[in-house]
Structure 1
Amino acid sequence: MKNESKKLDVNKCIKISLLGAISVILMYFDFPVIPMFPWLKIDLSDVPALMGAFAFGPMTGIVIEGLKNILILIVKGTGTAFVGEIANFIIGISLIAPTAYIYNRNKSRKTALIGMTVGFVSVQIAGIITNVYFLLPAFGMQMDKVQTLQYVTVGLLPFNGIKAVLVFAITYVLYKKVSRAIFKVEPALDRK
């Protein structure tokens, strides 16, 4: 019994590590979506974290987000004096944690969709707070109220919305296909 539990823990740690590594690779494929704010770049590195969180719980998603940001620092370094990595972690967990928490309480398609809706709202709120009160001041960007409002409404809200929808849609499709094979769990996305 003890050996079986130990084997499961090692197996789970390997899967979490692989998801973290896949997230790092996906961070290299980023692209801007709002020409007015070219530094707002979308990558799909939150997809593996959300898949892990769906399979093993929200804490796993948070661990994968942390692992991803630590690994990218080791592999690529930082061009933002750690500000970008901290922001990526905060935004990532605000997207993944509420979504996975709601889904894992009663795994079904309905709870996945409710979780995704809550995650969508959560990432919007966290994105505004993180950018306005942390990122912009950290980069020394001085914006008056009109510029800040424009940045939030024209840049952040569409950016975080597009990213959330992409991450959720890709996770929804992939998780159904790989959950049994990789995670050895039922996807429960077919249950109403």
Structure 2
Amino acid sequence: MLNEEAILKREKHSTAVSVRKIAVIAVLSAMAGVLMSLEIPLPFLPPFYKFDFGDLPAMLGGFALGPISAVAIEALKVFIKMLIKGSTTLGIGDLTNFLVCCAFVVPAAFIYRANKNRKMALVGMTVGTIVMTVIGDFLNAYVMLPFYAMAFHWPMDKLIAMGTAVNSHITNLNSFVLLATTPLNLIKGIVVSVITFALYKRVSPILHGRAK
């Protein structure tokens, strides 16, 4: 009898945790989708490269709930953003955003999960920023930019020229990626990491359902 009661209690607790986790993911995803929609143009980057804070909720969720939850938040973020604003890149940029941002939050969440302290949070986000930058450069050079040019029937030179217009040192695809894609991802990684580092311990009790 006691064993049955213990099992029932564990099942109820597990169900409650699952429901709360789904609710937290839903709220963070909604926040991420809205933040992704609030794009900020940067004067030293081409007009189709914009900064947003959409990865902040995903990083917070990854630290609190794990890397799989971070991926779910990233996926829902992109979906919500497309519902709000649609896609100006036929979904190419949105898919690239999902992959690149997962490359940021997943390594960070995995590393932090191994030892949950401030040092590992910094290490995780630093590694995540580096991985995101490398993956972002590769995907933009070989997937997004070529597909973007093909989808809109633009020669690659026209895309390069949009970079040259804001930075005269951008003269070809390699310099475009180095001087436009790389800075965008580094800026995003650093800014989101700094804000996450400042906020996480304050919001962690809420994310874990321990707020008083």
TM-score by length of 1: 0.90
Counterpart among 157, 166, 170 of residue 191 in structure 2: 166
Matched, 1:148 2:169: no
Secondary structure of the structure 1 residue equivalent to 2:156:
coil
The percent identity for this pair of structures is 34
Matched, 1:48 2:57: yes
Task: After TM superposition, list the pairs within 5 Å mapping 1:1-192 onto structure 2.
Answer: 1-140=10-149, 141-143=155-157, 146-184=171-209
Given that 2:34 and 2:80 are in contact with CA atoms closer than 8 Å, whether structure 1 keeps it comes out as no
Q: Distance in 1 between matches of 2:177 and 2:43?
A: 12
Q: Please, which runs of 5 or more residues in structure 1 have no aligned partner?
A: 187-192
Match of 2:6 in 1: none
Q: Distance in 2 between matches of 1:75 and 1:106?
A: 37
Given that 1:34 and 1:155 are in contact with CA atoms closer than 8 Å, whether structure 2 keeps it comes out as no
Q: Is the radius of gyration larger for structure 1 or structure 2? A: 2
Q: CA deviation at 1:146?
A: 4.8
Match of 1:189 in 2: none
Q: 1:20 to 1:178 in 2, by over 3 A?
A: same
Q: CA deviation at 1:110?
A: 1.6
Q: CA deviation at 1:78?
A: 1.6
Given that 2:122 and 2:197 are in contact with CA atoms closer than 8 Å, whether structure 1 keeps it comes out as no
Q: Distance in 1 between matches of 2:206 and 2:78?
A: 27
Q: CA deviation at 1:61?
A: 0.4
Q: CA RMSD in A?
A: 1.9
Given that 2:25 and 2:69 are in contact with CA atoms closer than 8 Å, whether structure 1 keeps it comes out as yes
Q: Please, which runs of 5 or more residues in structure 2 have no aligned partner?
A: 1-9, 150-154, 161-169
Given that 2:41 and 2:50 are in contact with CA atoms closer than 8 Å, whether structure 1 keeps it comes out as yes
Q: CA deviation at 1:84?
A: 1.2
Q: CA deviation at 1:123?
A: 0.8
Q: Distance in 1 between matches of 2:210 and 2:100?
A: 27
Secondary structure of the structure 2 residue equivalent to 1:168:
helix
Secondary structure of the structure 2 residue equivalent to 1:38:
coil
| Greater than 3 Å deviation, 4+ residue runs | 143-146
Secondary structure of the structure 2 residue equivalent to 1:44:
coil
